[in-house]
């Protein structure tokens, strides 16, 4: 049976990585597979969005380098909110350099990502050394890594043999790589015919999700939660502008209503998937 048919709770029990287990557990506990991507540029907007979407999400995705007044007080407040509302934190850093450099970018600098972000991600483009570099920092802290096996944008180069190689790199590093940023399940992708991959439980976190639009003017492409969770077997929907909007004026009531709407759509789709035969 494909692991896509198992409940998040059952998968949590079987998973060996602490951050993957914690994510699956919180998804089951809060009945949500919604990750909100909070791509706003000030601390106050960031914290008001997180405060209002907190009850509906399993994960907050950050781009801390776009916050103009970033400081560690923001991280402290984000941590407090993550405890108050019970969600995990994912810094969408998209590391892409040699092992030594990414280890420093992950542990040090202004942001000290590894100290607060349960999950981060990396492009597989440099090859396996990017995983060993990041693992030297992340494994002792119980962190998890996602590889960008595919992207949501028009004309993405992350296809075919590149995607297959990303999955092979993940299989060789299951102590740290917990899954993929991808548009579909990766079961068996890139495996040789005699290789057994049935027990691999890679989480699929999927951006490019929108209910009211099919894309933006800069190459982003959107699919619905049902297309992503039921048709493509992904686990977590990542939603940004579909929830916090596009303009400069945040309307907090709309943000809350949209978070509730995406949470319901995502959870219903998941239930349809695990009940389906």
Kindly list the catalytic residues.
92, 94, 97
DSSP sequence for 160-173: HHHHHHHHHHHHTT
In the complex, minimum distance from the CB of residue 50 to ligand S5P, in angstroms, rounded to a whole number = 14
Specify whether the CB–CB gap between 225 and 265 falls below 8 A. yes
Among 26, 145, 181, 203, binds ligand S5P (CB under 6 A): 181
Q: Which of 92, 165, 201, 235 binds ligand S5P (CB under 6 A)?
A: 92
DSSP bridge pairs for 35: 59, 238
- Closest approach, Cβ 10 to ligand S5P, in A, equals 27
DSSP string, 56-100: G-SEEEE-GGG-TT--HHHHHHHHHHHHHHT-EEEEEEEE-S-HH
240 marked as binding residue = yes
Any known ligand binding at 61?
Answer: yes
Q: Cα separation of 199 and 187, whole Å?
A: 9
Question: What residues numbered 108-127 form the site for ligand S5P, per CB under 6 A?
Answer: none
Question: How far is Cα 118 from Cα 113, in angstroms, rounded to an integer?
Answer: 9
Helix, coil or strand: residue 250 = coil
CB of 193 to ligand S5P, least distance (A): 30
Q: Pull the structure tokens for residue 30.
A: 């809060």
- In angstroms and rounded to an integer, the radius of gyration of the C-alpha atoms of the chain is 18
Helix (H) or strand (E) holding 4: none
Site size with ligand S5P, rule: CB under 6 A: 15
How near is the Cβ of 190 to ligand S5P at its closest, in Å? 19
- Residue positions counted in the chain: 277
Site string (185-214) toward ligand S5P, x via CB under 6 A: ----------------------xx------
The smaller minimum CB distance to ligand S5P, of residues 58 and 238, is found at: 238
Give the number of other Cβ atoms within 10 Å of residue 216's Cβ.
13
Q: Name which position in 32, 37, 120, 258 contacts ligand S5P (CB under 6 A).
A: 37
Q: Is 242 in the site for ligand S5P (CB under 6 A)?
A: yes
Of 70-78, 104-112, 234-242, 261-269, the window that binds ligand S5P (rule: CB under 6 A) is: 234-242
Binding residues: 39, 61, 152, 220, 240-241
Residues making contact with ligand S5P (CB under 6 A): 37, 39, 63, 92, 151-152, 181, 207-208, 220, 238-242
């Amino acid at each position: 049976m494909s692991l896509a048919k198992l409940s998040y709770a059952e998968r949590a029990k079987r998973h060996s990585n602490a951050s993957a287990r914690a994510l699956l557990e919180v998804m089951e506990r809060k009945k949500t597979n919604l990750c909100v991507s909070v791509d706003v540029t000030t601390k106050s907007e960031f914290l008001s969005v997180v405060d209002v979407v907190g009850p509906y999400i399993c994960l907050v995705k950050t781009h801390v380098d776009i916050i103009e007044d970033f400081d560690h007080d923001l991280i402290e407040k984000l941590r407090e909110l993550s405890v108050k509302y019970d969600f995990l934190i994912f810094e969408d850093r998209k590391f892409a350099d040699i092992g030594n450099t990414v280890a420093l970018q992950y542990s040090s600098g202004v942001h000290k990502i590894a100290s607060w972000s349960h999950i981060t991600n990396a492009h597989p483009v440099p090859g396996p050394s990017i995983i060993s570099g990041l693992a030297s920092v992340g494994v002792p802290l119980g962190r998890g890594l996602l590889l960008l096996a595919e992207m949501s944008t028009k004309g993405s180069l992350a296809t075919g043999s590149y995607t297959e190689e990303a999955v092979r790199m993940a299989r060789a590093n299951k102590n740290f790589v917990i899954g993929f940023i991808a548009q579909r399940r990766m079961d068996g992708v890139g495996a040789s015919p005699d290789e057994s991959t049935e027990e691999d439980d890679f989480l699929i976190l999927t951006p490019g999700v929108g209910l009211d639009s099919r894309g933006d003017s800069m190459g982003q492409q959107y699919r619905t939660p049902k297309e992503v969770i039921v048709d493509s077997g992904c686990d977590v929907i990542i939603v940004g502008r579909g929830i916090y909007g596009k303009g400069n004026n945040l309307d907090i009531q709309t943000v809350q209503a949209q978070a509730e709407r995406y949470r319901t759509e995502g959870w219903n789709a998941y239930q349809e998937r695990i009940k389906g035969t």
